[in-house]
Every structure is written in structure tokens, then in C-alpha cells.
Structure 1
Amino acid sequence: MSTPALADLYPAHLDVLQARAAEALRRSGHDHLVIPSGTVHYQVFDDRDYPFAVNPQFKAWLPLTQAPGSWLVITPGVRPKLVFLQPHDYWHVVPTLPQGYWVEHFDIIVIRTADEAARHLPADPARCAILGEPQSALGAYVPNNPAPVLHYLDYHRAFKTPYEIALMRAANRIGVRAHRAAERAFRAGASEFGIHLAYCQAAGQDANDLPYSNIIALNEHAAVLHYTQRDRLPPRPLRSFLIDAGADCSGYAADITRTYSAQDDDFAALIQAVDQVQQALCDLVRPGVDYPWLHLEAHRRLAAVLRDFDVIRLDPEEALQRGVSRVFFPHGIGHGIGLQVHDVGGFAASDAGGTLAKPEGHPYLRLTRTLAPGMVVTIEPGLYFIDMLLEDLKARGLEDTVNWARVAQFRPYGGIRIEDDVVCTEDTPINLTREAFADLH
């Protein structure tokens, strides 16, 4: 996304955030929204720091992701203030002075020590809603995270502005470019670690820059949902490759998963069948669709694939009701995405609080809201051959529902997952990920 285009979109984004902040403060009875960027954390009994992770509430306002010790002050009707820490330091790289399309919208004060920030914050901390982690406390300015403020902001963060969608589109383009590089490395016989390095190189992002730790899984490792070991040597024979890897653009995430077979075999056909289901589910990201229903519909469609490939011996509805489909598809159909890979507010009943329950028997679903225009969600159906879950199925007396010879054939491939980032609109959904893959050709 070009800087002029972002410059055109940013003022309206800022107006939306200002309106949300004003209403959140009205509900909580505070006068100011004060947001620390966060501080550096150190390992216990050591002087080594963890990678800095900016406060999501902070980066919602401006594209600063590496500015520890800085603060935002939002007061309704007043120009927002950024207190920016740029220390004198020759041990580490110092953050560069703010620049770009957004700086003209803020009063920016540069400080040299973290303690200096206090003199530029509102006079009475009791009148402030301070959003952050306890470690960000600065004297009397201790994060209090008022529930009415968080309920309101987290609920409405599900609805992305055009500016945010532009950044997520750019993140998908970065991620897709890296996914193509990773596939080439797989086809060339690289190890999991080698594929990971190829991905980071193509994305132009180090492991600490990415929105989550890359899942690079060859063969049976694809049956571990969050596999991050990355063997240094490739397996022999090389059968399959599952990659779940994202990218960042100005603090916004892409979350993309693809699966490949090394040969044109039955597993490749199974991947194609899952891909067709995934695309059909993406097309159901429409206003008024209940996301838990979409999750259960994914189970029905994936169970039909399992039946068609002679893996299970049940009709799809029975497989869902008896819990057989959960053995092969044990996670949720997706989640909200944006400033965080698993964005907040996924279970919010309203902007005043409350929780929307998950479907019974489906504890890992991360979003239970009804879809509406502006929401961006992932759609990530999968089929896996996980020994622990297969043994549990036997223990439940459901052994005769499965063709074990077929399971034995697919087990060495681990599993399949296909994932795209999809925008709900008033009409046809926008698939940011498929759009990026199409543009790359």
C-alpha cells in the first residue's frame, strides 16, 4: 500500500478511534485515555531482554511498533498527544523520530528518559483510563484498565476501518510472497529450519518481527497443531509440508496456512478437497452469519470429505453429533484478526460486556459473534491424523466408524490446513489472501 493512499485513509481512521474513545470514557466516567506503549521485559535472574511487544491499544492509533517507554494521551475534543521516548544510548539502536503520513495529526513531545513522561501526562491520574500492563506503571500512572472502556473498545475493534484493511492487505502480500519462497524451498528438499529461513528472507522480517512463530511442519509433524521445533535435517522420504506463517505491516497481522504434497497422490487429492471446502466456507463470510454455525458447517463439510475418501463410515451429520469429526478437525474454524493474530472481543456479547458461549463440545473456537461488515476473520479448516485423538476415539467405543487402513495410509503425512484472511462486507466477501496469491502470478 502506497504512503499517499495511507495518508488519505488515516484521518478517517483517527476520527473513528476518537469517537470510540470518547464514548468509552463517557461510560467509565474518566476524562482521558492514557496508553503506554509498553516496556522491555527481562529474563529472570539475567540481563537479557525478551523481544519487545507493543501494547495493541497503542499501535491502534499510530504505526509505531518499536517505541518502548512512550505514551499516548487521548482527550475528547483535544488534539492527541504522543510522548515519545528517544533515549541517549550507545548500547542499542535508538528509535528514530516519528515521521510519515500520521505525525501531523499529533502533538509530539520527545523525551530522553522514561521518567520524563510523567510531567506530560494529565495532572490527575485518577481521571485517567490507563490501558496497559502493570509493568508500564510510572509513579501514580498505574494501568487500571477500566472494564467499561475495555468492553467498548475491544468489541468495536472487530470492525476494521478502510485504513486497517489496507494495512492487512499489505501484510497478506508480504506473507504470500514469503509463502511462495517457502514452497520453493520445500520442493527443493530443504529442512524445516531451512524453509523457515527462506520464509523470513522473502518476507524481509525476522522471527521477532513476525506476528507469531512460524509453523513449518514436514510429514508427521503436521499433526502437531502448533509445531515450532524446526528440524535441521529434512526427513526421508519427504511426503508433505504444512506451513502456517504470517507477516506484519505497521502492526497489523496476516495469518496464512497452506499444505502441499510432495507427490501427485491421494494426499494431494485430499488437500484439493479441503481447499474446495475452504473456499466455499470463505464465501459464507457474510453479514448476519453466526460464526459458530459456520464452524459446525465446516465440520459437516469436512466429514463429507472424510466419507468420500473412505476414512470414516458415517454420514456428515452423524459424524458431527457423535464427535467423530472432532477427532480429525480438533480446532476452531478461525478467529478475528487485526492488531493481534487472535484479536480481542471474539466472545463479546455487546460493547457493554457479556460473553457469547462456544458450541458445546467445541472448546477451541475463538470467535462466537455474528458476522457484520468490517469484520476480518480467518477461515482455516483442517484434517489431521493425530494418534492421541484416534486412540481416544477407540476408547469411546467408536472404532468401527473409521477405516483404519485408510488412516494408516494418511498418517505419515500428518495433516492438512488451509487458511485465508477474509473481510466481511455488505455483499461479496473480500479474501485478502487469495487476492494476494492471484496478484503474485
Structure 2
Amino acid sequence: MNQPDPGALYSHHLSVLKQRADQALARGGFDHLLIPSGTLHYQAFDDRDYPYAVNPHFKAWLPLTRLPNSWLVYTPGKRPKVLFHQPFDYWHVVPDAPSGWWVEHVDIEIIRKPEDALALLPKDPARCAILGEPQSTLGPFAPNNPEPVIHYLDWHRGYKTPYEIALMRQAQRLGVRGHRAAEAAFRAGASEFEIHMAYCSAVGQDANDLPYGNIIALNEHGAVLHYTELGRSAPTPLRSFLIDAGASACGYASDITRTYAATGHDEFQAMIGAVDAAQQKMCAAVRAGFDYKQLHIDAHLSLMEVLRDFGVITVSPEAALATGVSAAFFPHGIGHLIGLQVHDVAGFAASDRGGRIERPHGHPYLRLTRVLEPGMTVTIEPGVYFIDMLLEEVKQAGHGASINWDRVDFFRPYGGIRIEDEVLCTTGEADNLTRPPFAALD
């Protein structure tokens, strides 16, 4: 299957960003949009800097993720201008001269020192909406992050352009390549650290490139939602493997999770299969007009059906949801917006003027409460876990009889199960971005 070329889609993407910026600036009463790319941050009491992270607003306009001390300048009616920082430096790698699909669509000024930008920025900082962090302040140009501008741009970032979807598909393919390598390493008896290294090698990205820290969890570690310790020796016996890992493509993220059972652990493998089947139905429910909050509630009911089928709970899914038992087994949200950031912005926004749509009562970790619309890309990541702390809270709340504790003891050594895909909401059926790359490798 031929994949769309992001370069061929960039001109349209840029025109969409300019339209959004025009409207955002008008709402805020500004004449110019300035976006610093960000600066290096240095550790306290040391001369080492933290890994550089580009301003998300900057990489929305440009496929550049390693260009500190640069600026994007946009004035309605004019071509965007890039102040491209290319220092004289023999201590570090200097960015290559500007090249690629984006250069013909913008004006480029090379600056050798950060302060060289001052002569090229608009004359009156008060007329500028400057989006960035305080450390990006340059002379009188201090980020002001005006709310009317931020609200508008963040809201509309929820709707991905074809260029963005093409890059997100690239990130999926890279991530799936890593997932297959990680599964093979698990099957060969590798440690968490060795699995992580196999993943990074297959993707061709390390911790500075990946969109988030890999979760590589063997056995009971799968019950720690954000387990990132990376044990150096494999446990014995090896029972299960949960991997939550993504990749980056020009600053756009993938976020993929799979769970595997070791050979001979057939009942846990059967539970993985049941969660996977339920997850695919949840993915198919990503339709225009569907309330994502309801999808989260439906996920609770579906997962509790799985646990009842496996004898873990003794009550109906509805009763498990009403009493909080379901939250002990599924304590996080069904997913989130994704794109330039793994947890993309405006997940709770009521409109492009701000406001907030609250989470359902009793579900404090859901990261998206909006109604789905075409162009939104979300993760769908149901999970069931055997977490001692949360199960003890069920007992203390007086609902211990709702759980078959012998079955909990059986599944506890496996940690948990999570399956996660990215899904694009369209005008018709859901477009799962994750499953096709897995099928292609199979």
C-alpha cells in the first residue's frame, strides 16, 4: 500500500495553520505570531543540560525538532519567516543548512547568535502573541501566551491535517517495527533492559528521540502503569510481557501498547485475547458525534464482562462500575488525543474560546472529555491489572465479596494487560492507524 508523502501535503498544512493563526491573532488583538523553538535547560549545580525538547507550537509549523534558539515569525498576509539558528560552534554539532520539503514555503534568515534575532523580529513586542516558555525570553520579547490565542490554536490542534496524519502513520510503522523486535527479544528470554535496547535499535531512536520513556514490564511489573525501571536480568520463571512504547516522525508521536504471555501460560493468553477483542470493538466505536466520556464508561462495562467470564469478579459489570470495583482493575482513562504531543492539548476544552468539560464522577484519570469529530486522532487503551493497593481499597470499602480472590491470586503474578491503538475519527468508519502496520509485518 502506497503511503502519502508528507512533503506533498505540507503546503496545504501550512495554509491551514495560517488560517488558524489569522483567527487566533484577531481574537487576541495581536498583529504578529512569534514562536521560539525553545532553549537548552541546564541542571542545577552542574554544567550539563537536559535533553532539548522543542516547543510543540514550533514543530507544528516546521518539521524541525533539534533547532534551539530559533524563531517562527508569522504576520497575516505574509509568508512565514524562520530565524534559523546555525551557530559558529566546534563543541557541538551545528544544524545542517535548511533543506527539505518546507524550505520553499517560508522565508529563512540564518542567525549565528540568539541575540541576532532581535533585529529581525517585529518592532513592537506589545503587538506580538509570543508562545513559549519563560526561558525563551529574548530582550523585550517575553512569551505572553495570551489565552484567546492559546485556546483557539490548542482546540484546533485536535483536528489533524492530512500532512499530520501522514507523519503519524510513519510513526506507527516505526513503532510497530520496534514492537515486533521487542516481542522477539521477550520470547528469547531477554531482560527488560535488553528488550528496551532491541526496541530502540529496531526503531532507530533512543531516549532523546522517542516521544516518551518506554514501559517495558515483565511479570508483576505489568501492574505498575508507568513502569520504567528496566531490570537488568530476566525473572524466572518468565510469565508475561507488557510493552507501551512509541516512536517519533518529524515531531509527531505514536503510542502503542501490547501484552504477551510466555509459552505455556494459556489462561493468561486467553485473557489477553479477550481484552484484545474488546479493544477492537472500542476502536470501532470511534465515530463522529460519539461522546468520548461514554466510550470510557462503555470500556469499564466491557472489561468487567471479561473479568466476570474469567471468574475474577462475581457481580455484574454494571454493579462493578457502580461500586468502584471496576476502577480497581481499570484505574486509568480509555485514552487521549495524540499528535505533536503524546497527551495532546485541549482534551477537556469546551470550545475554542476555552471552558472545560469535566470528567465523569469517579473517573479522575480520563484525559479526554470532548465529543469526537472528524480529524481527531485518539488512543484507545483499555487495561485490566492486579494492583494490590487498589484491591485492598475495594476490601476496605466493603466490596470484597464482589471479587473471587483465588482468581486474583492466580492472575496477580502476570501483572496486567493493556492493548493500545491509535484511531482516526472520520466522517464514516473509524480508521485504525496501528493495526495495518502489524498486519503488514505479519
Q: TM-score range by the shorter chain?
A: over 0.9
Q: Match for residue 110 of structure 2?
A: 110
Say if 2:163 is the partner of 1:163.
Answer: yes
Q: Match for residue 58 of structure 2?
A: 58
> Separation in 2 of the partners of 1:326 and 1:29?
45
Question: Is the 2:31–2:127 Cα contact (8 Å) retained in structure 1?
Answer: yes
Secondary structure of the residue that 2:246 maps to in structure 1?
A: strand
Question: Is the 2:37–2:68 Cα contact (8 Å) retained in structure 1?
Answer: yes
What stretches of structure 1 of length at least 5 have no aligned partner? none
Equivalent residue letter for 1:316: P
Deviations 1:357-410 (A, max 9, x none): 000000000000000000000000000000000111111011111000000000
Q: Which stretch shifts more, 430-439 or 237-246?
A: 430-439
Q: Which stretch shifts more, 32-41 or 256-265?
A: 256-265
Deviations 1:257-304 (A, max 9, x none): 000000241110000000000000000000000000000000000010
Q: Match for residue 228 of structure 2?
A: 228
1:18-57 aligned at under 5 Å gives the runs 18-57=18-57
1:241-390 aligned at under 5 Å gives the runs 241-264=241-264, 265-390=266-391
Q: RMSD over aligned Cα, in angstroms?
A: 1.1
> Separation in 1 of the partners of 2:208 and 2:83?
25
Q: Once the 2 structures are TM-superposed, how far is the Cα of residue 2 of structure 1 from its aligned partner? A: 8.9
> Separation in 2 of the partners of 1:119 and 1:413?
60
Secondary structure of the residue that 1:60 maps to in structure 2?
A: helix
> Separation in 2 of the partners of 1:132 and 1:360?
33
> Separation in 1 of the partners of 2:161 and 2:440?
23
State TM-score, norm by structure 1.
0.99
Secondary structure of the residue that 1:175 maps to in structure 2?
A: helix
Q: Match for residue 154 of structure 2?
A: 154
1:74-93 aligned at under 5 Å gives the runs 74-93=74-93
Deviations 1:158-193 (A, max 9, x none): 000000000000000000000000000000000000
Q: Match for residue 183 of structure 1?
A: 183
Taking structure 1 as reference, are residues 406 and 102 closer, same or farther at Cα in structure 2, changes over 3 Å only? same
Taking structure 1 as reference, are residues 4 and 307 closer, same or farther at Cα in structure 2, changes over 3 Å only? closer
Question: Is the 2:4–2:166 Cα contact (8 Å) retained in structure 1?
Answer: no
Q: Once the 2 structures are TM-superposed, how far is the Cα of residue 4 of structure 1 from its aligned partner? A: 8.3
Ranges of 4+ aligned residues in structure 1 off by more than 4 Å: 1-4
> Separation in 1 of the partners of 2:47 and 2:398?
54
> Separation in 2 of the partners of 1:101 and 1:41?
30
> Separation in 1 of the partners of 2:274 and 2:433?
21
> Separation in 2 of the partners of 1:123 and 1:290?
46
> Separation in 1 of the partners of 2:32 and 2:2?
33
Taking structure 1 as reference, are residues 204 and 301 closer, same or farther at Cα in structure 2, changes over 3 Å only? same
Q: Match for residue 213 of structure 1?
A: 213
Query: Identity of paired residues, percent?
Result: 68
Secondary structure of the residue that 2:423 maps to in structure 1?
A: strand
Question: Is the 1:213–1:245 Cα contact (8 Å) retained in structure 2?
Answer: yes
Q: Once the 2 structures are TM-superposed, how far is the Cα of residue 439 of structure 1 from its aligned partner? A: 1.7
Q: Once the 2 structures are TM-superposed, how far is the Cα of residue 97 of structure 1 from its aligned partner? A: 1.4
Secondary structure of the residue that 2:174 maps to in structure 1?
A: helix
The total of aligned residue pairs comes to: 441
Deviations 1:275-334 (A, max 9, x none): 000000000000000000000000000010010000001111111111110000000000
> Separation in 2 of the partners of 1:177 and 1:45?
40
Equivalent residue letter for 1:74: Y
Equivalent residue letter for 2:199: Y
Equivalent residue letter for 2:317: P
Secondary structure of the residue that 2:255 maps to in structure 1?
A: strand
> Separation in 2 of the partners of 1:178 and 1:84?
33
> Separation in 1 of the partners of 2:383 and 2:299?
9
Question: Is the 1:83–1:111 Cα contact (8 Å) retained in structure 2?
Answer: yes
Question: Is the 1:3–1:101 Cα contact (8 Å) retained in structure 2?
Answer: no
Equivalent residue letter for 1:51: P
Equivalent residue letter for 1:67: L
Equivalent residue letter for 1:309: F
Secondary structure of the residue that 2:207 maps to in structure 1?
A: coil
Q: Once the 2 structures are TM-superposed, how far is the Cα of residue 7 of structure 1 from its aligned partner? A: 2.3
Question: Is the 1:67–1:95 Cα contact (8 Å) retained in structure 2?
Answer: yes
Q: Which stretch shifts more, 22-31 or 256-265?
A: 256-265
What stretches of structure 2 of length at least 5 have no aligned partner? none
Equivalent residue letter for 2:81: K
Q: Once the 2 structures are TM-superposed, how far is the Cα of residue 436 of structure 1 from its aligned partner? A: 1.1
